[in-house]
Structure 1
Amino acid sequence: MTDVALALPTAPPLTGGLADSVFATAEARPDLPVLARRTGPDGGWQRVSAAALREEVSALARGLVAAGIAPGHRVAVMARTRYEWTVLSYALWAVGAQVVPVYPSSSRGQVEWILRDAGCVAVVVEDEQGAMTVGSVCAALPRLRHVWQLDAGALEQLVADGAAVPPTTVESLRRIVAPEATAVIAYTSGTGGRALGCALSHRALASPCDTLLAGWGHTAAPPGEQASVLAFLPFSHVYGLMIQGICVRGGILMGHEPDLDERALVPALRSFRPTYLYAVPSVFEKLYKNFLRTAQQAGRGALFERAAATARAFAAARERQRTGGGRGPGPRLRLRHAVYERTVYRGLRAALGGRVVRATSGGSTLSRELSLFYEGIGIYVHDGYGLTETAGGITMQPLGREKSGTVGKALPGTEITVADDGEILVRGPSLFQGYVGDPAATRAVLRDGRLATGDLGHLDAQGYLTITGRKKDVIVTSGGKSVAPALLEQRLRMHPLIHQAVVVGDDRPCVGALITLDPDFLAHWRALLALPGDAASREAREENALREEIGRAVAAANSAVSRSESIRVFRLLPEPFDVAGGLLTPSMKLRRAAIVERYAAEIDAMYDARRGRVARRPAGEDPAASREDSDDVFR
């Protein structure tokens, strides 16, 4: 089945490189504020005009020329999301160089692989730790000539060194950058093995940005206001680069927040006050849990839960109305929603700065329930879809016909089909040029001009795409049942106590799960429980209460799937999966194979305990009628 492209305004074709937008905006609207810099720890922001940004980019580009950076050279950027990232990337593109993003949390081995595989001639690191990581692998990198450290004033020194280079030199280099020239070598997350470098052209990176701006740009802010975005997702990921591209190409004011921790992010949102929010599902999940925790601490937990249920019901009714499936919210629901708007929803939006009108979630699937909640409180969240190989997003919700639980429809000019085995295939202007140095891997995913995404999904009769999981993640039980783990894991994470979940069960008699707890919410939950008695008895009763609570979360997740696909056993793990332990990629994706290997003993014990319970059933008892095989297994 093929989706029909949306009939929306067409973006003008790209005629040069990505850096041209900086110079074009400065020429047309020199005073337009395009970036905002932090002025200090008090949370103030200083706006930077389009003309000022052009001068910074040009001056740094001259310094890069003085350092010997030439068209086609690859320069790695290993830093968090900060102001210098934006200036540096556009300066590199202005001289025809290629940006190689590297997560600053990458291991020594990952850094060595990327810099060597890409053939980088220079790398920009953020701090001393980054410099030491690169320094430890320099002997294996014969092409590497420069290591520049942001916190040591490297960019300022480059600008000083480039003072003797005529501005016309940069202008000449910028004008010969072709749309099909490679702009970025973006490495895949490496969940299944060695990361692969995706070559992305200037045209590929600009295409989704320009299409989204042409069709949806006017929705990013209230009428008459300049749109603003706080960029906090890593620019080391193509999603972050797309956010940067949309802002710079669309004249959207962009601030930078390098720290994803809520203690830094929430104050930044309140001080910057964005009109549009780009995030990943874990951020939206964390914000929801924080709303709930704050309400419970204030003694308003029950009020919040009623307001949240009303928000979801109101959004679902509006969705039925706009998609032709119902009449919309009734009088009673409208009244309840209006009451909670004054007492609850307004305060929730204020926690995000008070100006956010819409949002996009990407990186993995967002649950329908969470999407409906945010729409119900006044912030529609579009669940986006895209890959590194597609230079970012390739779907969007049609305005006025949004459908939560789906990722929308294919962008104009992009074609999405679903193969017989459920794999999503994509063709369009944002496809990558291939994997660097690996033509065999490129041929394996490009078939007759279509990208085999490795994702599973389906298109409904109206062309809305729903993602059901990754093809390589499908679990096959010993009984031959195929289970896609994404939905179960997503629903488990909706419970405020659950931080991470990994569904297992390959060659096992049933589906199981490894679960980690959210430490902040766990401490809050224990404080609310406030059990009396001595320490020993209190701990035992607390453990029983926790067992029951997680059991309810598992039962809620199981309600979305058939019995044969449901989680029958699970185990709580004492610590979360993290990058340092090799169980998460730098982009925070699960390394499933590594997790299963690390916790092999716990998984075996989990299933052994289940077999023991099943063996103790009375003769003749119907297993389907028993609750024992859905009991949990704790450490």
Structure 2
Amino acid sequence: MNILTEILLQAERTPNAAAIVQFGRGSGCSFDEEILCSYRTLVEQAQGLCTRILRRVAADAQVGVVMGNSAEWVLADLALMLAGCTQVPVPLAFSAPQAGWLLQNCAVVLTDASGAMRLQEWLETGLDLPRNTMHVVFGHYQQQSAAAPTSRAALSGPDRIVKVVHTSGTTFRPKGVRIRRDGLDALVSALWQRASKDDYRRYLSLVPFSLLIEQVTAIYLPLTSGGALLLPPADMLPLGSPGVIAADRLEIIRAARASALTLTPALVEALAAQAIRLAGRADALHALFGRPTAPLLAAGGAPVANQTLTTLDQLGIPVYQGYGLSENSSVATWNHRGANRIGTVGQPLPHVEVRVADDGELCLRSTSLFAGYSNDDPSSCIVDDDGWLHTGDLATRDSEGFVTITGRKKTLIITANGRNVSPEWLESAYRSVPGVLHVIVYGDDRQFLGGIFVVADRSRADEIRLAIADYARRHLSEIEHIHTPLLIEHSPDVMAQLFTVTGRPRRDAIAPFLSLQKDPSVHEHP
């Protein structure tokens, strides 16, 4: 299948069906629901924006997308597909240097309201960012021609790069993963062999669109099946944003009556806690999801405790864990109806081959593999001469093909919100704060990063904490902020506990060390 072709055909089959639904805040704790656009309107607007873009850039240009989770993002995504441009999505949480690194080769930058504000903040730091911007407003574009020649040309031809998406590296510069059109098509086609068309009739998006997996599940799966994308109120930030607590999204989940959504591990935990409180009630599922049956719930990005998944399953709320990485255009393995084995990340998708190397490393080979990186980084995955992607993750595979992730060869942190953070360069960055001698960053399975800061003089704790916060605000993305650093006075005993003789962090010592601390910084805070 071709994603763009399917969306255009869907607009012909059901032109008046709802494509995007926007929620707003009503009275009290209620939410209002409004159909923002039909399929016909969405395609006409995308064709109009496509024509505007091609007046300013060449068809093969890189185009930055600096936007929040808005209808404008969906419009820009489709317009860039039609135009034949390469989309470079930039998370709003990125720092100015990180954004500048991603945008340096972009001919134009598309923004929505929140993106324009963030871009201005980056520019005010003095960073040299592309000044050629186009502010996108849904409803401002008309279909330019019935035939739409530019869009038809984009449907065929040789494979090309459609996106350059970010993923964590070992420096402040994110790696750019080059995503192929045919690879993305192969992935979506494979996912449809694991789901039914009705699953994505109403998809609620709670995860940032800047993540490739959310572009796939929130935009491409609903719009290739006649479904609708449900957007939370504009002031409701996506999961993983600073200060956002997963449990606070349970209200919109109930109000949205969604047929599908992707959960972060933190949201799975919050949902389980609420389900336990409602256990025994005849209307428990309705109280959770606003409907008599549970929606299709997918989870990934970081592991969820087996007991949590078992509890939910026993309450009639199966959660289907999966595994993927940007280098495979996102999903590689996924549990699904009829083949859900708790504790695993499922079987490979139909287009994916899997093998476990002698050292336990998980290797993938598929038709959705990426076309390489836009910049080199020591943490880059390797594709060998036989086409196998070496993921850096350790895994086992049982006789029925279910894959279990057992660890990582590398030290990449995966938070409970599914965000990837490389600790080494971040620790190096925080060590530049005056008064800080050594740093260990941690955050696996937590909503927010934590950090142990070894300092020369703990009597200056308040001053050092302010300096840490100021440094993070000026130099780091919001995801990389450590809001409640744990400050420890330097001593030989501390150094022996937490560091090797060469100064490398003993990461296996973090949990035992934290368990002995009474400092409230050990506990999570937004």
CA distance, structure 1, for counterparts of residue 60 and residue 203 of structure 2: 31
Match of 1:229 among 203, 212, 224: 203
TM-aligned CA deviation for residue 74 of structure 1:
1.4
Secondary structure in 1 matching 2:72: helix
TM-aligned CA deviation for residue 267 of structure 1:
3.2
TM-aligned CA deviation for residue 391 of structure 1:
0.8
Residues 403-428 of structure 1, C-alpha deviations (whole Å, 9 max, x = no match): 00101101112101111111111000
Match of 1:71 among 59, 64, 67: 59
Indicate yes or no: 2:341 matched with 1:418.
no
CA distance, structure 2, for counterparts of residue 385 and residue 414 of structure 1: 12
TM-aligned CA deviation for residue 377 of structure 1:
1.8
CA distance, structure 1, for counterparts of residue 13 and residue 318 of structure 2: 32
> Structure 1 pair 377/581, CA: closer, same or farther in 2 (3 Å)?
farther
Match of 2:222 among 236, 247, 254: 247
Residues 141-181 of structure 1, C-alpha deviations (whole Å, 9 max, x = no match): 4xx3522345xx5x556x2xx77x54545545644554621
> Aligned partner of 2:288: which letter?
A
Match of 1:56 among 45, 65, 78: 45
> Structure 1 pair 451/517, CA: closer, same or farther in 2 (3 Å)?
closer
Match of 2:20 among 13, 16, 35: 35
CA distance, structure 1, for counterparts of residue 125 and residue 184 of structure 2: 30
Q: Is the 8 A contact 2:275 2:284 kept in 1?
A: no
Indicate yes or no: 2:318 matched with 1:372.
no
TM-aligned CA deviation for residue 441 of structure 1:
7.8
1:362 is aligned to 300
CA distance, structure 2, for counterparts of residue 599 and residue 444 of structure 1: 36
Q: Is the 8 A contact 1:210 1:246 kept in 2?
A: no
Residues 224-253 of structure 1, C-alpha deviations (whole Å, 9 max, x = no match): xx7211012111011111112111122222
1:126 is aligned to 113
Indicate the structure (1 or 2) with the bigger Cα radius of gyration: 1
CA distance, structure 2, for counterparts of residue 70 and residue 85 of structure 1: 20
Q: Is the 8 A contact 1:20 1:94 kept in 2?
A: no
Indicate yes or no: 2:284 matched with 1:347.
yes
CA distance, structure 1, for counterparts of residue 33 and residue 349 of structure 2: 34
CA distance, structure 1, for counterparts of residue 470 and residue 372 of structure 2: 27
Secondary structure in 1 matching 2:255: helix
Match of 1:180 among 159, 163, 168: 159
Query: How many pairs does the alignment contain?
Result: 452
CA distance, structure 2, for counterparts of residue 364 and residue 631 of structure 1: 22
> Aligned partner of 1:414: which letter?
V
CA distance, structure 1, for counterparts of residue 368 and residue 166 of structure 2: 16
TM-aligned CA deviation for residue 30 of structure 1:
2.1
Q: Is the 8 A contact 2:97 2:127 kept in 1?
A: no
CA distance, structure 2, for counterparts of residue 269 and residue 105 of structure 1: 24
> Structure 1 pair 366/179, CA: closer, same or farther in 2 (3 Å)?
farther
1:259 is aligned to 237
CA distance, structure 2, for counterparts of residue 420 and residue 373 of structure 1: 35
Secondary structure in 2 matching 1:394: strand
Q: Is the 8 A contact 2:265 2:303 kept in 1?
A: yes
CA distance, structure 2, for counterparts of residue 205 and residue 472 of structure 1: 26
Q: TM-score scaled to structure 1, two decimals?
A: 0.62
Indicate yes or no: 2:254 matched with 1:279.
no
2:175 is aligned to 196
CA distance, structure 1, for counterparts of residue 490 and residue 204 of structure 2: 41
Residues 430-484 of structure 1, C-alpha deviations (whole Å, 9 max, x = no match): 110110144998784444211111111111122110012221129xxxxxxxxxx
Match of 1:94 among 82, 86, 96: 82
CA distance, structure 2, for counterparts of residue 126 and residue 466 of structure 1: 42
> Aligned partner of 1:235: which letter?
F
CA distance, structure 2, for counterparts of residue 517 and residue 50 of structure 1: 39
CA distance, structure 1, for counterparts of residue 117 and residue 383 of structure 2: 37
Q: Is the 8 A contact 2:334 2:347 kept in 1?
A: yes
CA distance, structure 1, for counterparts of residue 176 and residue 342 of structure 2: 33
2:341 is aligned to 403
CA distance, structure 1, for counterparts of residue 156 and residue 197 of structure 2: 30
Kindly indicate which of the two structures has a greater share of residues assigned to strand: 2
TM-aligned CA deviation for residue 585 of structure 1:
8.5
CA distance, structure 2, for counterparts of residue 517 and residue 365 of structure 1: 7
Unaligned runs of 5+ in 1: 1-12, 221-225, 296-303, 308-339, 475-484, 494-501, 503-511, 520-573, 612-627
Q: Is the 8 A contact 1:95 1:170 kept in 2?
A: no
Unaligned runs of 5+ in 2: 239-243, 418-422, 424-439, 448-464, 499-511, 520-526
1:213 is aligned to 192
Secondary structure in 2 matching 1:365: coil
2:431 is aligned to none
CA distance, structure 2, for counterparts of residue 108 and residue 629 of structure 1: 34
> Structure 1 pair 30/179, CA: closer, same or farther in 2 (3 Å)?
farther
1:634 is aligned to 518
CA distance, structure 2, for counterparts of residue 25 and residue 515 of structure 1: 42
TM-aligned CA deviation for residue 269 of structure 1:
2.0
Q: Is the 8 A contact 2:327 2:370 kept in 1?
A: yes
CA distance, structure 1, for counterparts of residue 493 and residue 157 of structure 2: 57
CA distance, structure 2, for counterparts of residue 132 and residue 252 of structure 1: 35
> Aligned partner of 2:38: which letter?
S
CA distance, structure 1, for counterparts of residue 145 and residue 355 of structure 2: 50
Percent sequence identity over aligned pairs? 22
CA distance, structure 1, for counterparts of residue 397 and residue 99 of structure 2: 39
**599-608 or 280-289, larger mean C-alpha shift:** 599-608
> Aligned partner of 1:194: which letter?
R
Q: Is the 8 A contact 2:302 2:445 kept in 1?
A: no
Secondary structure in 2 matching 1:216: coil
Q: Is the 8 A contact 1:179 1:202 kept in 2?
A: no
TM-aligned CA deviation for residue 210 of structure 1:
1.7
Q: Is the 8 A contact 2:381 2:389 kept in 1?
A: no
